[in-house]
Chains A and B, each alone.
Chain A
């Protein structure tokens, strides 16, 4: 598979064209989508036209920058003019978007090629991608397993070489969870940084739009394009000597699969060997994050869906309908309590970051779960999969801090694990500089001492 950076070098060296790369992706979609169900629909004709135009522009000397001619996929929550935004739901039957959402406009301006719209958990309301009107997306590392969610089809599309990068959304971990489950980099920017206009919401106070890609640099390039404006040079890695990192303990390490824990600790040791200082910190109210999240996310989602829950309830998948209905019962006073908890958690994470460049946790406490499983056994105890999968990512939707996941080894069965880095609010670039350094350290580790 080719990174965006490699593609760009070859494109400008006239070793490849956008049309060739796009045909390669469309060919993989044709060959593999029946097995992976990553795409709800491909946009082959439009992609070919965009790629042809990108090649013509480059030949005429007009270079739009790092995303020029790059085939990418889009989670099917984002409006693209003239095509459906299904949200993986029958509720959206007959919908056609009248205009591009701003992030799609920015990607067009950056020269990206759209190969198709990807599968997701219905209305992004789940972590496994199983509840979709179009059937479950599957993990390219093991098709019996979930690719994670809700941006599961997006992650599968990149992991299977159907796109060089993809755009996902993240309300409780829906970029970082599937990125970790599929062995990718996934970046959730600071809350409010990337436009969510024209993107079907789950919770307007928790939703983020961001990239999944094959490397930190690729993720940054796509993130910058999402913001709009002129192309910029990728940031340099932060110097590893003097880097101050902190591993989050207690809540964040209480409930982990043994192989995930071992892989994470080896990764942390590799970063320390490279020269970074590693401390350990606690977020005192982290155990409250699940209930805080629930009492914000559920009413937000219920408000958006109230009219269709009453008018066409049969068009939702059963599980998603029940979760949405649950939100209609939350009292206003409890929503306000959750907002108070959110403020406190935000201050506590800010305080931890006052002394550190980034905070470290595993991304996903378990490897990709089997499709159809509702519980997972950790430490001899059965735990609900949804709660476990959200556990380490949702805190930073609640607080709004930028967070990125990087591949961090594999299990004995070959399933990817991820390491999450959390950075200071309103400085996603600072987090990316740290992530570039960590990516180098983890790559060196995998050469020196392969995991598991």
Chain B
């Protein structure tokens, strides 16, 4: 699941659960998750990444 798709699903769920206040927090979390996924320590099934 991409971060973008995850964010859409998460915001929709939060609204369905009556917690619209979560939206800006989930957006901040999405930025953090994108940064985590971009880190150079992540594994890649194609083998080690080139710098």
Contact = CB atoms under 8 A, between A and B. Distances in A.
Interface of A: 285, 288, 290-292, 294-295, 298, 318, 322-323, 325-326, 329-331, 334, 337-338, 340-341, 344
A288 B39 contact: yes
B26 A291 contact: no
Given A330-B29, A334-B37, 6 more contacts: A290-B32, A295-B33, A322-B21, A337-B37, A337-B42, A338-B36
Given A323-B25, A325-B19, A295 B41 contact: no
Given A326-B29, A340-B41, A331 B6 contact: yes
B3 to A, nearest CB: 9
Lowest 7 CB-CB distances: which A-B pairs, in order?
A291-B32, A291-B36, A329-B10, A344-B41, A291-B35, A288-B39, A326-B25
Interface core residue of A292, A295, A331, A334 (most chain B CB under 10 Å) = A334
Contacts of B35: 288, 291
B26 A340 contact: no
Interface string B9-47: 010011000010110011001001101110101110000
Nearest to B35: A291
A291 B3 CA distance: 14
Contacts of A325: 14, 19, 22
A326 B36 contact: no
A126 to B, nearest CB: 14
Given A331-B1, A331-B6, A341-B41, A295 B25 contact: no
Contacts of A285: 39, 41
A256 to B, nearest CB: 22
7 contacts: A325-B14, A325-B19, A325-B22, A330-B33, A340-B42, A340-B43, A341-B36
